[in-house]
Amino acid sequence: MELKFKIDQKKVFKVFSGNSGLSPFHPFYCNKKTILRNCGGRLYAHYNGEDINQTYWALRKSAIICDTPERPLEITGPEVIPFLDKIFPRQISKLKIGRGIYVTALTHEGNTFMDGILFRLSEECFWFVQPDGDMHTWLLAHKQNYQIKINEPNSRVLQIQGPNSYKILNQLTEGEIDLKFSYFSAGFFKINSQLVYISRTGWTGELGYEIYTFCKKTNCEKLWSDILEVGKKYGLKISSMQAMNIRRIEAGILDCGSDFNIYDNPYEVGLGNFIELKKKFFIGKDKLVNLSKHKLLFGFISTAIIPKGGFIMHDAKKRSVGMVTTGTYSPQFKSGIGYVKFSKKIEWEGKKFFVKNEENNFYECEIKDLPFFDIGKNLPREILI
């Protein structure tokens, strides 16, 4: 859903604010060009009138701040680990306090229901940070007799991403976030006396951090002001999700609901590395054991077209062989790039195919494996002082 507001944004904020509406940060950056979209019941700035090329390169060379619609869920209790071990196909008991891991949740058919980041805040307290979808209902449906509680902490999430993000967070936390705070680390910190939860994660493939608020306990206007005050000398720019979306495609990061859904098993979309079949049990395991591990989702690049989700991929004889799940223009390659989900299990990488647009025109493209660059994910791991 896309909404264009050309009315008093403060009035809009009063109508839509709350856990299932606009972010409390919305009034600090919105303008007449703001376009909102809905993600899991939360509205966010899909576009905010900025120069996308400028914010993209700010992300690559300095830093951006983005108000995102991610929704943390809190799972607590003495039986939280066996419960989460049932839900996720990774060894949850091995997750240390102050760390996060990428996880997928599978259906009983072994297909991908949702992905997200799972953080361990304390011995019996975890946060699952979900994108679009309804993980809350899924967890409640499997709660059964487990001695756990599932709550929404009503936290809102700011992402600060880019090579200068470390300098910004280091100063904001008065040095508490230092070089020892590694990739996927997380913990409680204070920014100008306000308690927040910070993780070294993000949706860009660049060095980055996420700041989680604590509902009404957080003075969001003050937090926003403090971040921008420190960030201005490091080239921090306010961004919508547009620049982040370009970069996440380049980085091979998948979007739940568009790049995969409940009809795709994790091996088909390249998520097999996050499945630990040695675990005794998790939902969907019995269906995965004997599945083919052949991948169907690939990237592609084209100088002739900027692809969109829903375009159809064809072979040289104009036969349909797959569908584009997402696409964008990449400033890095000065080309159109995207993902394609093929319908057959053969070797696709390096081959040339044709994308058909709405006008039924065909444009040549080349199939690439993901990610498009930084294969070893060194950018989010390295800090250059």
Residues 162 and 225 in one domain: yes
For residues 331, 335, 380 and 81, what is the CA-based torsion angle, rounded to 10 degrees?
Answer: 130
Q: What is the CATH number of the domain that holds 211?
A: 3.30.1360.120
Q: Give the residue carrying structure tokens 């929704």.
A: 71
Alpha-carbon gap, residue 234 to 170, rounded angstroms = 12
Per the structure, the complete domain to which residue 318 belongs is given by 294-368
Q: What is the CATH number of the domain that holds 108?
A: 3.30.70.1400
Residues 161 and 246 in one domain: yes
pLDDT value, residue 329: 98
pLDDT value, residue 5: 43
Contact at 8 Å (CB) between 269 and 254? yes
Residues 83 and 224 in one domain: no
Alpha-carbon gap, residue 182 to 263, rounded angstroms = 35
Tokens of 229: 């005050």
Alpha-carbon gap, residue 65 to 67, rounded angstroms = 7
Strands 236-238, 63-68: pairing is parallel
pLDDT value, residue 349: 78
pLDDT value, residue 1: 45
pLDDT value, residue 16: 44
Contact at 8 Å (CB) between 182 and 96? no
pLDDT value, residue 290: 86
Q: Which of 188, 218, 250 is the last residue of a domain?
A: 250
pLDDT value, residue 19: 46
Q: State how many domains the chain has.
A: 3
Residues 172 and 312 in one domain: no
Divide the 385 residues of the chain into consecutive groups of 10 and give the mean pLDDT of each group. Answer: 46 46 95 93 93 98 97 97 98 97 97 97 97 90 96 96 98 98 98 98 98 96 98 98 97 96 96 95 95 92 97 94 97 98 83 93 95 96 88
Q: What is the CATH number of the domain that holds 363?
A: 2.40.30.110
Full-model pTM: 0.93
